[in-house]
Amino acid sequence: MLVELLIGAGALVAALAASSIRVIKQYERGLVFRLGRVVSAPLEPGLALIVPVIDRMRKVNMQIVTMPVPAQDGITRDNVTVRVDAVVYFNVVDPRRAIVNVEDYRFAMGQVAQTSLRSIIGKSDLDDLLANRERLNEGLELMIDSPAVSWGVHIDRVEIKDVALPEGMKRSIAHQAEAERDRRARVIAAEGELQASEKLATAAERMERTPAALQLRLLQTVVDVAAEKNSTLVLPFPVELLRFLDHATVGLDAWTKAANASEDDHAGTETGSPNGQPAAPEQRQAEPMSGT
């Protein structure tokens, strides 16, 4: 009978000893509740002893938690419907606040991240969501970090993952980008034409001062054309000859007009009056009567 009691007492002591021993991992901290109250600072990693039945210990993970934020639908400040998702990196820095001040700090962080993401969408333009992600990430981090401080949680960083646009907006952006590329191409081509015209004007001035340079350029063009295997026949035509023909044509037109004018004057003189006008009818009738 005594042996059985000793065996039972030994088993009870062993059970109590086993229930009082806790192992805390390196990335964890232990928070001990004695009769419902926190009795000490968080326990460090290693072997920890608690009072059986009276004490309860909760382990808190101190590692950085990667929490994806579900995609949120919102309307930007310039009235564009978008769907944005993000990811939040945070860790617990005060285990006592994370357990005592909030029921479930992970769930609370998720809800704050979703509401903050909707708020940042409504305060931003579409161009900011697409181009100024770093500034929006900083603003979103500040919005989430404000309530998280009282929960003993530190926000390491916040990143906006993706911005989903409607199909119509995607086509509009593509058309805008295409038009911008066309504008740049035309501006570049116009600048090239301007520079080429300036260089050609400079070359023309130099060739005008040196006529032999024009002949050399003409010969170089003939050589370039003849280097290719084709049936093109190039006949150099001097520009001076064109100018001579132009002046000759102008002189011929002037001589023709002068000749036509002289012929008209001569025809008027032969018809009667000294000043080229025909005689009056009364004068022609008076001449026979005087003879009688």
Q: Are 86 and 161 in the same domain? A: yes
Query: How many CB atoms sit inside 10 A of residue 202's CB?
Result: 10
Position 43 in a domain: yes
Span 198-251, pLDDT tens digits: 988 888 888 778 777 777 777 777 777 776 666 666 666 666 666 666 777 776
Position 274 in a domain: no
In angstroms, rounded to a whole number, what is the distance separating the alpha carbons of residues 39 and 55?
9
Q: Are 135 and 96 in the same domain? A: yes
Question: What pLDDT tens digit does each residue of the chain (292 aa) get?
Answer: 677 777 777 777 777 777 788 888 999 999 889 888 888 788 888 888 888 888 888 899 999 999 999 998 888 888 888 999 999 999 999 999 999 999 899 999 999 999 999 999 988 888 888 888 888 899 899 999 888 999 999 999 999 988 888 888 888 888 888 999 999 999 999 999 999 999 888 888 887 787 777 777 777 777 777 766 666 666 666 666 666 667 777 767 777 777 777 776 666 555 544 444 444 444 444 444 444 3
Position 186 in a domain: yes
Q: Are 146 and 80 in the same domain? A: yes
Position 52 in a domain: yes
Q: Are 15 and 103 in the same domain? A: no
Domain closes at, from 40, 60, 80:
60
Q: Are 15 and 47 in the same domain? A: yes
Position 267 in a domain: no
Full strand arrangement of the beta sheet holding 37-38: 37-38, 28-34, 55-61
Q: In this predicted structure, what is the pLDDT of residue 92?
A: 93
Position 197 in a domain: yes
Q: In this predicted structure, what is the pLDDT of residue 279?
A: 44
234, 247, 253 from 250: Cα distances, Å: 29, 5, 5
> What is the extent of the structural domain holding 18?
2-60
Structure tokens at 165: 């646009």
Q: Are 87 and 54 in the same domain? A: no
Q: Are 279 and 273 in contact (CB under 8 A)?
A: yes
Position 229 in a domain: no
- Residue 43 DSSP symbol: B
Number of domains in the chain: 3
Q: Are 85 and 159 in the same domain? A: yes
Domain closes at, from 60, 76, 92:
60
pTM of the shown model = 0.59
Provide the CA 102 distance to its chain's centre, in angstroms: 43
Position 230 in a domain: no
Q: Are 79 and 21 in the same domain? A: no
Q: Are 89 and 29 in the same domain? A: no
Domain closes at, from 165, 191, 214:
165
Q: Are 119 and 189 in the same domain? A: no
Domain of 112, CATH number, reads: 3.30.479.30
